[in-house]
Structure 1
């Protein structure tokens, strides 16, 4: 596995606990929208602490971007990333990942699970090929939504927010369960893209297959 030391060009919080990192892009480094890499902090005590993060930038840009949820209560890698600033260094590795766009369908994301979809949506939007896709995005509260304005601009009425811990006028205050899927999806023969906590992905994948989706049409990180 190749290692690339990259300098942080920008590091800013975009929600109360989500931070955007723009870093140098190694020469000849390529990825497909939806893919990820292993990242660590270039400090002696942290450089071997690898964590997977998804690229959120367009692949033809001259930098790389990661949008990362910071868990300060864990006292681990993301908490340390919360203290990383412009001029510091990260280490990235080879590209990997199974979440790749195949054809129009429904994207279902939980929390920071939106990140693989950001690069996919940006790529399709740039090509004017986003029509026919829909995003169902579940978060605890409205304050947890990542890139809400950009997603709304790109997807319009096909951007659906669901909040599990608050009832906000104009939005769904519920969970994505069997009843919700039946009431809101007419065609289970289309493609589905799922990303979020492992229990979220497993539960929704199983429900979709029970309701008629085939395993080949349900795309998630295995």
Structure 2
């Protein structure tokens, strides 16, 4: 059965020029699996029905819940409103849901804020000393958009690859992730692939992986 919970914002942490982490109180007995999300709204008049999905970026055994959210410049949008809130504000959240769950070592491919389901997964793997040979390929428009760049670099060492699509002179790979890139970057297509990003990004990546021989049963994404 779906439950709704009122939680209080306790801390707001800037991550990039347009991404913030919101830490909130954790309801007693609340459970989730790394990679899952909730439907979230601001518990404030005029905003209670403006619900959007956001992914946990904390660990299941933390004594708080945490969401790392990209804030867009849309006057009517929830994330634009979240730019203005302070600790003490309240969210309404649903029970945890979502199809992105760790199933074994593989390649994680994220576009922009689509990296958020992977944050809790990688933090959990680090906690369990099971990071193994997992690879993260992270596509952003500019280097300033890279969320948790230092943390990912520290966790994954040489298994963190940045792709920058709209910044001339970047030191990173400067084209979009496509079939050719994947063919040249990945040797083994018989492993798990975790894909999250804007709808078109996800569709293009999944199509390219399928064309390169990836098994549909090994593709993990939000359906």
- 2:136 is equivalent to residue 149 of structure 1: no
Shift of 1:72: 1.5
Is the 1:11–1:84 contact (alpha carbons within 8 Å) kept by the matching residues of 2? no
Aligned to 2:82: 81
Is the 1:162–1:174 contact (alpha carbons within 8 Å) kept by the matching residues of 2? yes
Give the RMSD, CA atoms, in angstroms.
1.0
Is the 2:75–2:81 contact (alpha carbons within 8 Å) kept by the matching residues of 1? no
Q: Secondary structure at the match of 1:96?
A: coil
Aligned to 2:116: 115
Aligned to 1:166: 167
Separation of aligned partners in 1, 2:169 and 2:202: 25
Aligned to 1:60: 61
Per-residue CA deviations over 1:35-64 (Å, capped at 9, x if unaligned) read 000000001210111100000001100000
Aligned to 1:181: 182
Unaligned runs of 5+ in 1: none
Which moved further from structure 2: 167-176 or 66-75? 167-176
Shift of 1:2: 1.3
TM-score (norm 1): 0.98
Which moved further from structure 2: 37-46 or 73-82? 73-82
Separation of aligned partners in 1, 2:5 and 2:85: 17
Please give the residue correspondences for 1:1-222 in structure 2 after superposition, counting only pairs within 5 Å.
1-168=2-169, 170-222=171-223
- Off by >6 Å, runs of 4+ in structure 1: none
Shift of 1:73: 3.1
Separation of aligned partners in 1, 2:118 and 2:169: 24
Shift of 1:168: 4.5
For these two proteins, the number of residue pairs brought into alignment is 222
Distance 1:151 1:168, change over 3 A: farther
Q: Secondary structure at the match of 1:124?
A: helix
Shift of 1:14: 1.4
